[in-house]
Amino acid sequence: MMKIALEYLAEQPAIASQIHFEICDVTVAEFEAESFDAVYSRDTFIHLEKKEALFRQFFKWLKPGGRILFTDYCRGNDEPSKEFKTYVTSRKYHLLTVSGYEKLLQRVGFVKVKAEDKTQDFRASLQKELKKLQDGKAEFLNEFCQQDYDDLNQGWNAKIRWVDNGDQKWGLCYAEKPMQ
């Protein structure tokens, strides 16, 4: 993802001097207060157990009026299936509900909070990726093995099933730090 971001930035000379990318462990990173205009993340907070502490750091690091935008895998509101629980445990994921993210952002102090359930967009993306994998099976097998193909195929199908069962959701969240 960093390579893609840097390639895109190289094509945008007018904004290149205003943007800085850094790869780091954000859970231990140290930045000056009010040093960022925005925080963006895509499907990464699932790996973090101490979400509130991290979001408090984001709040501190953002300038007044700064924004946070992220997507993340979420869990449904109901008791998940045993299969989904096993999957989440095996991956060491820590999932919130979409409304759980909304409440977390508000608790930390963010305003203009929007937490939207974009699960149907997620499902469409999963179907697209599955079709791409299946349509490109021959090319895939030229580079990888049958077991790799089977694992990906089963994984995409399982995620579609979990979405259909209401176990897995996909949240899109936006919030702002107050202007003070």
Check which CATH number belongs to the domain holding 66 and give it. Answer: 3.40.50.150
CB-side neighbour CA atoms (13 Å) of 127: 9
20: pLDDT strictly greater than 90: no
pLDDT digits (tens, 9 = 90+) for 44-53: 999 999 999 9
Average pLDDT of the residues in 107-129: 97
What pLDDT is attached to residue 5? Answer: 86
Could you count the other beta carbons within 10 Å of the beta carbon of residue 126?
20
2: pLDDT strictly greater than 90: no
CA–CA separation, 112 and 108 (whole Å):
13
pLDDT digits (tens, 9 = 90+) for 71-83: 999 999 999 999 9
174: pLDDT strictly greater than 90: yes
3-state secondary structure of 174: strand
The number of distinct structural domains making up the chain is: 1
- Which is more confident, 71 or 14? 71
Q: Which domain holds residue 41?
A: 2-176
Site of tokens 């099933």: 161
Query: Over pLDDT 90: what percentage of the chain?
Result: 84
Residue 111 C-alpha from the chain's centroid: 20
